[in-house]
Amino acid sequence: MNNYCSYYQAQIDKPNHLFVVGSLKYYEHLCFDRTLDAAQGIFEFFVPQDQESQFLRVMAHMEKKGLIHNLVKSANRLS
């Protein structure tokens, strides 16, 4: 998977979990998301390399609106 995907993590406050995840489903093939740490609200995102710029635009908008926090790109933890 790491040959094809970039890996990101972000914190999402509990009241926004469903809205953010549902919004990401609107964009076809934008990313695969899942909860990494429910207590902390940490989500992880596996992003196809050809969708990375679109993903970052969407996430920047969500960050501006206060829906997500601390978006960071890191090494894919599954590699």
Q: List the domain boundaries for the chain.
A: 5-74
Q: Distance between CA 10 and CA 1 in Å, rounded?
A: 20
Per-residue pLDDT at 43 exceeds 80: yes
Name the band, by pLDDT with cuts 50, 70 and 90, for residue 1.
Answer: very low
Per-residue pLDDT at 71 exceeds 60: yes
pTM over 0.85: yes
Evaluated on CA atoms 3, 29, 56, 71, the torsion sign reads negative
Question: Does CATH number 1.10.1040 belong to domain 5-74?
Answer: no
The average confidence (pLDDT) of the chain is 91
